[in-house]
Amino acid sequence: VSLQPNAGSQGEFAGLLAIRRYHQARGEGYRDICLIPLSAHGTNPASAVMAGFRVVPVKCDGDGNIDLADLGAKCEKHSGELAALMVTYPSTHGVF
């Protein structure tokens, strides 16, 4: 018998639950936006939704690099309800 997690997505989910509970404990449960690059693996937005977040995708270029202008615009647009930015390195494209 092993209690070792079966996948990295379990770690993603645990981390996102901690972030969600942190905001709730501070009385900021309305912070429920999680920004996730479009190049992210499908488990990333799935984990975020399961943890109670609304996912807002961030544009990427053909090499998987985050579009910093789009990131900045979305941070500004959702500043009052932004809870997390989920970026995995190396990315799905192998970008470090």
pLDDT at 16: 96
User: By CB neighbour count within 10 A (0-12 exposed, 13-18 middle, 19+ buried), where does 75 fall?
Assistant: middle
Structural domain spans, the chain: 31-96
Which residues, 6 or more positions from 41, have their beta carbon under 8 angstroms from its beta carbon?
88, 92
Taking each helix axis as running N to C, give the angle between helix 43-50 and helix 8-25, from 0 to 180 degrees, rounded to the nearest 10.
Answer: 40
pLDDT of residue 49: 97
pLDDT averaged per 10 residues, the chain (length 96)? 80 94 98 95 93 97 90 98 91 70
Instruction: Please tell me the distance from the alpha carbon of residue 49 to that of residue 33, in angstroms, as a whole number.
Output: 10
Alpha helices in the chain (DSSP H): 8-25, 43-50, 68-77
pLDDT at 90 (0 to 100): 76
H or E element: which one contains 56? strand 54-58
